[in-house]
Structure 1
Amino acid sequence: MIKPLDRRLLLARMETAQAETQRHLGVIERQIAARAERMTITDRAKRRPHGRSASSWTNADERLFQQYVAELALARHGEIDALTLKLDRQETAIAEFRARGRASQRGGERSGA
């Protein structure tokens, strides 16, 4: 049987690993959004005269931005899918670990009564 202190340490390690996976996924999402924004601004500057003075983001710009986000996400779908699956597995493992801990606590209370 795992001691309560060891359980807490193991759970903390699992949660830290999950947070790192989530952070990595967030980094990729921010990279994609930033690149799509740069691509949209570059394209907008090429299409419009006086591109630097055009400060408003139009509906057409938003559609183009979303298109670039989709294209860039598709290009990195393998990495995104792998991280998403890993995150799902980590969430499941943590939930099961917590459930087993609650079950063993209840069992210990019954046998100790």
Structure 2
Amino acid sequence: MTEPQDQCLLLARMKAAQAETQRRLGLIERQIASRAERLTITDRTKRRQRGRNASSWTSADERLFQQHVAELGLGSRGDIDALTRKLDRQETAIAEFRTHHCVSAAWR
């Protein structure tokens, strides 16, 4: 049987790996949103030549932004799906570890 300090270290490593996976997934999502925003602003500027101070974001701009997010997300679907599946496996492994070693979720 593993000692409590070994269990603590193993759980900490599992949680660190899970946090890294979440960070990578969040990074991809932020990159997609940033790119979609740039594409929307560029497209909006081409259509409306009001100058630099035109900063009103219309509902049409929001729809275009969401369309760009969907298209870019589709292009990154493989990476996003792989990271999401990995995150699910990590959550399951942590839950099983806690159950098997009688460790509560409050114990960090």
**TM-score (structure 1 length as normaliser):** 0.88
Distance 2:14 2:97 in 1: 10
Distance 1:83 1:54 in 2: 38
The structure carrying a bigger helix percent of its residues is 1
* Gapped regions of structure 2 (runs ≥ 5): 104-108
Distance 2:2 2:66 in 1: 49
RMSD of aligned residue pairs (Cα, Å): 1.1
Larger RCO of the pair (alpha carbons < 8 Å, separation 6+): 2
Q: Which residue of 1 aligns with 2:88?
A: 88
- Bigger drift between 60-69 and 43-52 goes to 43-52
Give 1:49 deviation, angstroms.
Answer: 1.9
**TM-score (structure 2 length as normaliser):** 0.92
- Opposite residue 61 of structure 1, the aligned amino acid is D
* Gapped regions of structure 1 (runs ≥ 5): 104-113
Larger Rg: 1
- Report the identity percentage: 73
Q: Which residue of 2 aligns with 1:8?
A: 8
Aligned residues: 103
Q: Which residue of 2 aligns with 1:23?
A: 23
